[in-house]
C-alpha cells in the first residue's frame, strides 16, 4: 500500500523564516508601497533584505498565498444562493497601450474574478463571464453598466434575464477599483499583460482576506475579525 504523498514545503529552499516571507508579501501586496518602501520598513524592524528579494518573494509566494485564500473562499461561497454580482472594466496602460481589466465583485465587495484583455468586445466579455461562472457558480443577479458587450455575451450564455442595469446600481464595482488604482500608482504602472493579470489576481485575494468592512461594525468586532484574518494569514501554506 503506497503512502499518501506529503506536499513539498514551499519554503524549503529559502533561508528566511516563513513568517518573514509572509510579512513581506502582505506588506507589498496589501499596502500601496514600493519595493524600496518595504525594504526600509523592514530594516526598521531589524530585518535586512534587498528590495529585489521583496520582488522575488512576492512573485514566488504571492500566487501561492492567493490560491490558498481563493480555494477556501470558493468552497464556502458556492453554496450561497442569493448572490448578486457586479461587473465592470477599467482602462490600464501597459507601455502606453490601453488594455482592459475586467473585474467581478459580489454585493459585499468581495473580488471574485480579474481578467485582462486588449479589447472590450463581446468575445472578451464572454471569456471573462465564463471564467467567473466556471469558478464561482451561478449568480442570482448580475449588475453591469451600459456596455453593449455584456448583453451580447450574456445572451449567448443564456442568462441575459438575470442582468440588471442602473445609473448608480454598479457603484459597488466602481468603488472596488479604488484600492487597485492606489496600488497601481505605487508600482508606477505595469509593463506586461502577464504581470498585470498576476498582480490583479493576487491583490484581489489579499484584499478579500483583510477586508473587514470596518465602517459596518463596532470597534471590538473589527479588532476580533482583524486578529482572525492575521492568524489565518500566518497559517497559509503551513
Note the pLDDT tens digit of each residue in 174-188.
888 888 999 888 888
Q: Which residues have C-beta within 8 Å of that of residue 26, sequence separation ≥ 6?
A: 206, 233
pLDDT, tens digit (0-9, with 9 covering 90-100), for 179-224: 899 988 888 888 899 999 999 999 999 999 998 877 778 889 989 9
Over residues 230-238, mean pLDDT: 86
Residue 2 pLDDT class (50, 70, 90 cuts): low
β-pair partners for 88 = 103
Residue 114, pLDDT score: 94
Residue that has been written with the C-alpha cell 467581478 in this structure: 104
- Rounded Cα distance, 193 and 199, in Å: 10
Cβ within 8 Å of residue 211, ≥6 positions away: 109, 110
pLDDT for residue 60: 93
Using CB atoms within 10 A of its CB, is residue 227 exposed (0-12), middle (13-18) or buried (19+)? exposed
What percent of the chain has a predicted confidence (pLDDT) above 90? Answer: 59
Report the alpha-carbon distance of residue 42 to residue 65 in Å, rounded.
20
Amino acid at each position: 500500500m503506497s503512502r499518501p504523498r506529503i506536499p513539498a514545503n514551499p519554503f524549503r529552499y529559502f533561508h528566511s523564516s516563513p513568517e518573514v516571507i509572509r510579512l513581506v508579501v502582505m506588506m507589498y501586496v496589501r499596502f500601496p508601497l514600493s519595493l524600496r518602501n518595504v525594504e526600509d520598513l523592514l530594516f526598521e524592524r531589524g530585518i535586512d533584505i534587498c528590495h529585489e528579494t521583496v520582488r522575488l518573494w512576492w512573485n514566488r509566494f504571492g500566487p501561492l498565498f492567493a490560491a490558498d485564500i481563493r480555494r477556501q473562499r470558493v468552497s464556502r461561497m458556492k453554496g450561497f444562493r442569493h448572490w448578486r454580482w457586479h461587473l465592470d472594466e477599467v482602462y490600464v496602460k501597459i507601455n502606453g497601450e490601453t488594455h482592459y481589466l475586467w473585474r467581478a465583485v459580489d454585493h459585499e465587495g468581495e473580488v471574485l474574478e480579474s481578467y485582462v484583455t486588449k479589447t472590450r468586445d463581446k468575445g472578451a466579455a464572454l471569456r471573462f463571464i465564463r471564467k467567473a461562472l466556471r469558478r464561482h457558480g451561478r449568480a442570482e443577479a448580475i449588475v453591469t453598466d451600459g456596455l453593449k458587450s455584456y448583453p451580447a455575451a450574456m445572451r449567448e450564455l443564456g442568462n441575459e434575464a438575470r442582468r440588471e442595469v442602473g445609473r448608480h446600481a454598479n457603484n459597488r464595482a466602481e468603488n472596488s477599483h479604488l484600492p487597485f488604482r492606489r496600488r497601481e500608482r505605487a508600482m508606477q504602472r505595469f509593463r506586461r499583460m502577464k504581470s498585470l493579470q498576476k498582480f490583479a489576481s493576487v491583490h484581489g485575494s489579499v484584499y478579500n482576506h483583510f477586508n473587514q468592512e470596518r465602517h459596518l461594525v463596532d470597534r471590538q468586532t473589527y479588532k476580533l475579525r482583524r486578529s482572525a484574518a492575521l492568524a489565518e494569514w500566518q497559517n497559509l501554506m503551513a
